[in-house]
Amino acid sequence: MGEFSSKVAFITGAAHGQGRATALALAKEGAAIAAFDVAKQIEYPKYEFGTSDELKSLKTEIEAMGGKCEIFAGDVRDDAAVTAAVEGTIKAFGQIDILFNNAGICAYAKVHEMTDDEWNAMIDINLKGPFNVTRRAVPYMMEKKSGVIINNSSVMGLRGGNRLSHYTASKWGLTGLTKAWAIEFAPYNIRVVSIHPTGVNTPMNDGLAAMEGKTPEEIAEASAGNLLPVPWIEPEDTANLVLYLASDKARYATGSQFVLDAGLLSV
Protein backbone atom coordinates (compact mmCIF):
# COMPACT_ATOMS: atom_id res chain seq x y z
CA MET A 1 0.00 0.00 0.00
CA GLY A 2 1.58 3.24 -1.13
CA GLU A 3 0.90 6.69 0.26
CA PHE A 4 -1.43 7.50 -2.68
CA SER A 5 -3.07 4.11 -3.14
CA SER A 6 -6.64 5.38 -3.08
CA LYS A 7 -5.87 8.48 -5.20
CA VAL A 8 -6.21 9.38 -8.86
CA ALA A 9 -3.86 11.89 -10.45
CA PHE A 10 -4.54 13.73 -13.71
CA ILE A 11 -1.26 14.96 -15.19
CA THR A 12 -0.84 17.14 -18.27
CA GLY A 13 2.35 17.00 -20.31
CA ALA A 14 2.94 13.48 -19.01
CA ALA A 15 4.73 11.89 -21.98
CA HIS A 16 8.19 13.04 -20.95
CA GLY A 17 10.06 15.48 -18.73
CA GLN A 18 8.69 16.53 -15.35
CA GLY A 19 5.16 15.22 -16.05
CA ARG A 20 6.40 11.70 -16.75
CA ALA A 21 8.73 11.66 -13.71
CA THR A 22 5.84 12.77 -11.52
CA ALA A 23 3.45 10.20 -13.02
CA LEU A 24 5.96 7.43 -12.29
CA ALA A 25 6.62 8.65 -8.74
CA LEU A 26 2.90 8.92 -7.92
CA ALA A 27 2.20 5.53 -9.50
CA LYS A 28 5.01 3.99 -7.43
CA GLU A 29 3.14 5.24 -4.36
CA GLY A 30 -0.07 3.61 -5.59
CA ALA A 31 -1.91 6.43 -7.41
CA ALA A 32 -3.87 5.64 -10.57
CA ILE A 33 -2.60 7.91 -13.33
CA ALA A 34 -4.47 9.75 -16.10
CA ALA A 35 -1.69 10.86 -18.43
CA PHE A 36 -2.60 13.62 -20.89
CA ASP A 37 -0.20 14.88 -23.56
CA VAL A 38 -0.38 16.44 -27.01
CA ALA A 39 1.88 13.52 -28.03
CA LYS A 40 2.93 15.00 -31.37
CA GLN A 41 4.93 17.92 -32.76
CA ILE A 42 3.04 21.19 -32.73
CA GLU A 43 3.90 24.25 -34.76
CA TYR A 44 5.81 26.16 -32.05
CA PRO A 45 8.35 25.96 -30.53
CA LYS A 46 10.57 23.81 -32.75
CA TYR A 47 11.87 21.34 -30.20
CA GLU A 48 10.79 17.82 -29.37
CA PHE A 49 7.35 17.35 -27.88
CA GLY A 50 6.19 14.16 -26.25
CA THR A 51 5.28 11.31 -28.59
CA SER A 52 2.52 8.76 -28.61
CA ASP A 53 5.17 6.03 -28.13
CA GLU A 54 6.34 7.79 -24.95
CA LEU A 55 2.75 8.00 -23.71
CA LYS A 56 2.24 4.27 -24.43
CA SER A 57 5.54 3.33 -22.76
CA LEU A 58 4.51 5.28 -19.66
CA LYS A 59 1.37 3.15 -19.42
CA THR A 60 3.41 -0.03 -19.94
CA GLU A 61 5.93 1.02 -17.29
CA ILE A 62 3.23 1.83 -14.73
CA GLU A 63 1.32 -1.38 -15.41
CA ALA A 64 4.56 -3.37 -15.12
CA MET A 65 4.91 -2.08 -11.56
CA GLY A 66 1.35 -3.20 -10.83
CA GLY A 67 -0.19 0.25 -11.24
CA LYS A 68 -3.02 1.71 -13.30
CA CYS A 69 -2.68 4.23 -16.09
CA GLU A 70 -5.00 5.63 -18.74
CA ILE A 71 -3.46 7.71 -21.52
CA PHE A 72 -5.09 10.53 -23.46
CA ALA A 73 -3.65 12.30 -26.48
CA GLY A 74 -4.82 15.90 -26.77
CA ASP A 75 -3.87 19.54 -26.64
CA VAL A 76 -4.60 21.55 -23.48
CA ARG A 77 -5.93 24.25 -25.86
CA ASP A 78 -8.62 21.90 -27.12
CA ASP A 79 -11.62 21.92 -24.80
CA ALA A 80 -13.22 18.87 -26.48
CA ALA A 81 -10.05 16.80 -25.97
CA VAL A 82 -9.66 17.98 -22.38
CA THR A 83 -13.31 17.25 -21.59
CA ALA A 84 -13.07 13.77 -23.16
CA ALA A 85 -9.94 13.00 -21.11
CA VAL A 86 -11.49 14.17 -17.85
CA GLU A 87 -14.65 12.16 -18.55
CA GLY A 88 -12.53 9.15 -19.58
CA THR A 89 -10.66 9.39 -16.28
CA ILE A 90 -13.91 9.49 -14.30
CA LYS A 91 -15.22 6.52 -16.28
CA ALA A 92 -12.02 4.52 -15.62
CA PHE A 93 -11.25 5.54 -12.04
CA GLY A 94 -14.36 7.31 -10.67
CA GLN A 95 -12.58 10.38 -9.27
CA ILE A 96 -9.77 12.93 -9.64
CA ASP A 97 -7.87 13.75 -6.44
CA ILE A 98 -4.71 15.38 -7.77
CA LEU A 99 -4.43 17.64 -10.80
CA PHE A 100 -0.92 18.51 -11.96
CA ASN A 101 -1.18 21.33 -14.51
CA ASN A 102 2.25 20.76 -15.98
CA ALA A 103 2.04 20.95 -19.79
CA GLY A 104 3.83 24.03 -21.05
CA ILE A 105 6.13 25.42 -23.72
CA CYS A 106 9.02 27.88 -23.69
CA ALA A 107 10.89 29.84 -26.36
CA TYR A 108 13.02 32.95 -26.61
CA ALA A 109 11.96 36.08 -28.53
CA LYS A 110 12.57 39.81 -28.28
CA VAL A 111 9.25 41.52 -27.79
CA HIS A 112 9.56 43.81 -30.83
CA GLU A 113 10.25 40.78 -33.00
CA MET A 114 7.57 38.55 -31.47
CA THR A 115 4.69 37.46 -33.72
CA ASP A 116 1.04 37.22 -32.73
CA ASP A 117 1.25 33.45 -33.18
CA GLU A 118 4.18 33.16 -30.75
CA TRP A 119 2.48 35.30 -28.10
CA ASN A 120 -0.84 33.50 -28.51
CA ALA A 121 0.63 29.97 -28.37
CA MET A 122 2.55 30.79 -25.19
CA ILE A 123 -0.44 32.28 -23.39
CA ASP A 124 -2.95 29.74 -24.73
CA ILE A 125 -0.89 26.70 -23.70
CA ASN A 126 0.78 27.89 -20.47
CA LEU A 127 -2.05 29.97 -19.01
CA LYS A 128 -5.33 29.13 -20.73
CA GLY A 129 -4.39 25.42 -20.76
CA PRO A 130 -4.52 25.12 -16.95
CA PHE A 131 -7.82 27.05 -17.02
CA ASN A 132 -9.23 24.63 -19.62
CA VAL A 133 -8.23 21.57 -17.62
CA THR A 134 -9.10 22.87 -14.18
CA ARG A 135 -12.62 24.00 -15.07
CA ARG A 136 -13.41 20.50 -16.36
CA ALA A 137 -11.72 18.57 -13.52
CA VAL A 138 -12.58 20.67 -10.48
CA PRO A 139 -16.34 19.88 -10.38
CA TYR A 140 -15.39 16.28 -9.55
CA MET A 141 -13.19 17.50 -6.69
CA MET A 142 -15.97 19.81 -5.49
CA GLU A 143 -18.36 16.87 -5.41
CA LYS A 144 -15.97 14.95 -3.11
CA LYS A 145 -15.06 18.05 -1.13
CA SER A 146 -11.39 17.25 -1.50
CA GLY A 147 -8.56 17.66 -3.96
CA VAL A 148 -5.21 19.27 -4.72
CA ILE A 149 -4.30 21.31 -7.78
CA ILE A 150 -0.59 21.86 -8.42
CA ASN A 151 0.39 24.34 -11.13
CA ASN A 152 3.86 24.07 -12.64
CA SER A 153 4.89 27.70 -13.02
CA SER A 154 8.64 28.45 -13.00
CA VAL A 155 11.12 30.78 -11.36
CA MET A 156 9.91 32.98 -14.25
CA GLY A 157 6.54 33.15 -12.48
CA LEU A 158 8.30 35.12 -9.72
CA ARG A 159 10.91 37.17 -11.62
CA GLY A 160 11.61 38.53 -15.11
CA GLY A 161 13.33 36.65 -17.92
CA ASN A 162 15.32 38.16 -20.78
CA ARG A 163 13.70 37.49 -24.20
CA LEU A 164 11.06 35.56 -22.29
CA SER A 165 8.32 38.16 -21.87
CA HIS A 166 5.54 35.93 -23.20
CA TYR A 167 6.77 32.99 -21.10
CA THR A 168 7.21 35.21 -18.03
CA ALA A 169 3.73 36.71 -18.46
CA SER A 170 2.17 33.25 -18.80
CA LYS A 171 3.94 31.96 -15.69
CA TRP A 172 3.09 35.03 -13.55
CA GLY A 173 -0.47 34.52 -14.78
CA LEU A 174 -0.37 30.98 -13.45
CA THR A 175 0.84 32.28 -10.08
CA GLY A 176 -2.19 34.60 -10.06
CA LEU A 177 -4.55 31.77 -11.00
CA THR A 178 -3.13 29.76 -8.11
CA LYS A 179 -4.01 32.47 -5.60
CA ALA A 180 -7.46 33.17 -7.06
CA TRP A 181 -8.37 29.46 -7.21
CA ALA A 182 -7.11 28.93 -3.65
CA ILE A 183 -9.75 31.43 -2.50
CA GLU A 184 -12.48 30.05 -4.74
CA PHE A 185 -11.94 26.38 -3.90
CA ALA A 186 -11.03 26.53 -0.19
CA PRO A 187 -14.69 26.15 0.87
CA TYR A 188 -14.64 22.81 -0.96
CA ASN A 189 -11.50 21.67 0.87
CA ILE A 190 -9.53 21.86 -2.37
CA ARG A 191 -5.96 23.15 -2.10
CA VAL A 192 -4.19 24.99 -4.92
CA VAL A 193 -0.44 25.64 -4.98
CA SER A 194 2.18 26.53 -7.57
CA ILE A 195 5.72 25.25 -7.95
CA HIS A 196 8.61 27.30 -9.30
CA PRO A 197 11.56 25.25 -10.54
CA THR A 198 14.84 26.59 -11.87
CA GLY A 199 16.09 24.92 -15.09
CA VAL A 200 15.19 21.23 -15.17
CA ASN A 201 16.99 18.51 -17.12
CA THR A 202 14.21 17.74 -19.62
CA PRO A 203 13.75 17.74 -23.41
CA MET A 204 12.56 21.37 -23.03
CA ASN A 205 15.92 22.36 -21.55
CA ASP A 206 17.84 20.57 -24.32
CA GLY A 207 15.50 21.89 -27.04
CA LEU A 208 15.82 25.52 -25.95
CA ALA A 209 19.61 25.25 -25.92
CA ALA A 210 19.67 23.67 -29.39
CA MET A 211 17.45 26.46 -30.74
CA GLU A 212 20.03 28.96 -29.43
CA GLY A 213 22.86 26.97 -31.04
CA LYS A 214 24.33 26.33 -27.58
CA THR A 215 24.78 23.44 -25.20
CA PRO A 216 22.45 23.22 -22.19
CA GLU A 217 25.57 23.86 -20.01
CA GLU A 218 26.29 27.14 -21.87
CA ILE A 219 22.69 28.29 -21.41
CA ALA A 220 22.82 27.43 -17.69
CA GLU A 221 26.08 29.40 -17.33
CA ALA A 222 24.68 32.41 -19.20
CA SER A 223 21.62 32.57 -16.94
CA ALA A 224 24.08 32.27 -13.98
CA GLY A 225 21.50 31.75 -11.35
CA ASN A 226 21.73 28.65 -9.22
CA LEU A 227 23.61 29.15 -5.95
CA LEU A 228 24.19 25.46 -5.45
CA PRO A 229 26.83 24.16 -7.86
CA VAL A 230 24.46 22.44 -10.30
CA PRO A 231 23.51 23.66 -13.78
CA TRP A 232 19.97 22.36 -13.37
CA ILE A 233 17.81 20.11 -11.26
CA GLU A 234 16.35 16.73 -12.28
CA PRO A 235 12.69 15.92 -13.15
CA GLU A 236 12.68 13.61 -10.10
CA ASP A 237 13.29 16.68 -7.89
CA THR A 238 10.08 18.20 -9.22
CA ALA A 239 8.30 14.89 -8.66
CA ASN A 240 9.44 14.80 -5.02
CA LEU A 241 8.02 18.28 -4.40
CA VAL A 242 4.74 17.42 -6.11
CA LEU A 243 4.39 14.26 -4.00
CA TYR A 244 4.88 16.28 -0.83
CA LEU A 245 2.39 18.95 -1.89
CA ALA A 246 -0.18 16.36 -2.96
CA SER A 247 0.08 14.56 0.36
CA ASP A 248 -1.62 15.20 3.67
CA LYS A 249 1.74 16.37 5.01
CA ALA A 250 0.97 19.60 3.14
CA ARG A 251 -2.67 19.68 4.27
CA TYR A 252 -2.65 23.37 5.15
CA ALA A 253 -0.66 24.58 2.16
CA THR A 254 -2.85 26.52 -0.23
CA GLY A 255 -2.43 29.63 -2.34
CA SER A 256 1.33 29.38 -1.82
CA GLN A 257 4.32 29.39 -4.14
CA PHE A 258 6.88 26.60 -3.66
CA VAL A 259 10.29 27.51 -5.02
CA LEU A 260 12.67 24.75 -6.15
CA ASP A 261 15.49 26.85 -7.52
CA ALA A 262 18.85 25.69 -6.07
CA GLY A 263 19.02 29.18 -4.58
CA LEU A 264 18.48 31.18 -7.79
CA LEU A 265 15.89 33.64 -6.46
CA SER A 266 18.00 34.48 -3.40
CA VAL A 267 20.33 36.72 -5.41
Ligand X SMILES: NC(=O)c1ccc[n+]([C@@H]2O[C@H](COP(=O)([O-])OP(=O)(O)OC[C@H]3O[C@@H](n4cnc5c(N)ncnc54)[C@H](O)[C@@H]3O)[C@@H](O)[C@H]2O)c1
From candidates 62, 125, 192, 262, binder to ligand X by CB under 6 A: 125
Question: 116, 133, 127, 148: which is closest to 242 by C-alpha?
Answer: 148
From candidates 22, 202, 226, 254, binder to ligand X by CB under 6 A: 202
Q: Is 134 in the site for ligand X (CB under 6 A)?
A: no
Instruction: Specify the amino acid at residue 145.
Output: K
Quote the least distance from Cβ 199 to ligand X, whole Å.
4
Question: 111, 185, 140: which is closest to 34 by C-alpha?
Answer: 140
Instruction: Specify the amino acid at residue 52.
Output: S
* 8 Å CB contact between 14 and 76: no
Nearer to ligand X, 67 or 199 (CB): 199
Active site residue 167: yes
**Among 140, 167, 244, 252, which one carries the catalytic annotation?**
167
Q: Is 19 in the site for ligand X (CB under 6 A)?
A: yes
CA-derived radius of gyration, the chain: 17
Measure the CA–CA gap between 200 and 152, rounded to whole angstroms: 12
Contacts (CB under 6 A) with ligand X, residues 89-118: 102-106
Quote the least distance from Cβ 183 to ligand X, whole Å.
23
Measure the CA–CA gap between 48 and 157, rounded to whole angstroms: 23
Give the binding site for ligand X (CB under 6 A).
Answer: 12-13, 15-19, 37-38, 49-50, 75-77, 102-106, 125, 129, 152, 154, 197, 199-200, 202-205
